[in-house]
Every structure is written in structure tokens, then in C-alpha cells.
Amino acid sequence: MAYEDLREKGLVEDVKPNFSAVSALIARSLKDLATARANASIDREWAYAIAYQGMSRAAKRRVYGPVDGTNNARLLRWLA
């Protein structure tokens, strides 16, 4: 789907980049992925959930800008 179509449907919006917030979320997502690796031998299913959380944090900031409580559903619709 083209960006303009996504914007018209309210799935994305234009935001000014906040590089310090982006850096913080990327750092946190890397920490989540390290935690997922550490837990993989204990509980693989939970490790996947942690890894998803890390990817979700990075994608939210990349795709949607500020986290506003509705981004999980919007992210999943956008990825579908």
C-alpha cells in the first residue's frame, strides 16, 4: 500500500523526527533482544514474545513516531 493511502486511512502520520527518542528505543529494543537470547534455552515461547516486544518498540518509533497507546494495533494492521 502506498504511503499516501496509509496516511489517508489514518494508519500513519507525518511527524518530525526525535533522534534522542529513536536512539533510546533502539537501545531498549537491543536490550529486549539480548534478554530474549538469554531466555531462549529456558522458555523458547517466552523468548519469542520478548523478541517481538523489542522489534515492536523499534518499529513503532520508525513507523509511527510517539507511542500513544494505539500503536500495537496500528503496527499489526500496517504489517499485515
Question: What does the domain layout of the chain look like in residue ranges?
Answer: 16-79
pTM over 0.75: no
Give the model's pLDDT for residue 70: 59
For the chain, which ranges sit under pLDDT 50? none
Give the model's pLDDT for residue 27: 87
Question: Rounded to an integer, what distance in angstroms lies between the CA atom of residue 37 and that of residue 39?
Answer: 5
DSSP annotation of 10: T
Give the model's pLDDT for residue 37: 92
Give the model's pLDDT for residue 54: 83
| Cell representation of residue 6 | 496509509
Task: Decide: 68 and 56 in contact? Cβ < 8 Å.
Answer: no
Give the model's pLDDT for residue 67: 52
